Amino acid sequence: MFNLKTFSSESIKIIYAIIPILISVLLILNAFGNNGGLPKYFYLKSQIFLTEQKLKIIDKEIFITRNRVNLIKGPEIDKDLLEELAYQYLGYTYKDNLFMPFK
């Protein structure tokens, strides 16, 4: 075994200085290693942010769609919106409407 008396106080100070540096280097290498670590954390954080943005957009679309559905159902129907939807989705038109084909 090692005898502490064989080491000088200077060499012990150097060892105590090197050990934390070595441990720090190993932790940093592990953080950026192949197991994920910090790059994986930042990638997942950006994915979460993008997904939250998509969720906000979808929530707005759901709100708009629910509002439109509420306008065309129930005791008071918005006839203008119902006409617009019939025109848009079913292709219904009036006799006096003119269409010009575009190529």
Report the predicted TM-score, pTM, of the whole model to 2 decimal places: 0.51
Looking up tokens 């060499």 gives 11
| The two three-digit tokens of residue 61, written as one number | 């679309």
14 occurs within a structural domain = yes
103 occurs within a structural domain = no
Domain count within the chain: 1
User: Average pLDDT of 57-67?
Assistant: 95
pLDDT in tens, 10-26: 877 888 888 888 888 88
99 occurs within a structural domain = no
95 occurs within a structural domain = no
User: Average pLDDT of 29-38?
Assistant: 72
Left if phi > 0, otherwise alpha if psi is -120 to 50, otherwise beta: which for 7? beta
Q: For the chain, what is the mean pLDDT? A: 81
**Residues above pLDDT 70, as percent of the chain:** 81
Q: Report d(CA 103, CA 93) in Å as an integer.
A: 21
Looking up tokens 């012990």 gives 12
27 occurs within a structural domain = yes
69 occurs within a structural domain = yes
Question: Which residue segment(s) compose the domain that 33 sits in?
Answer: 8-90
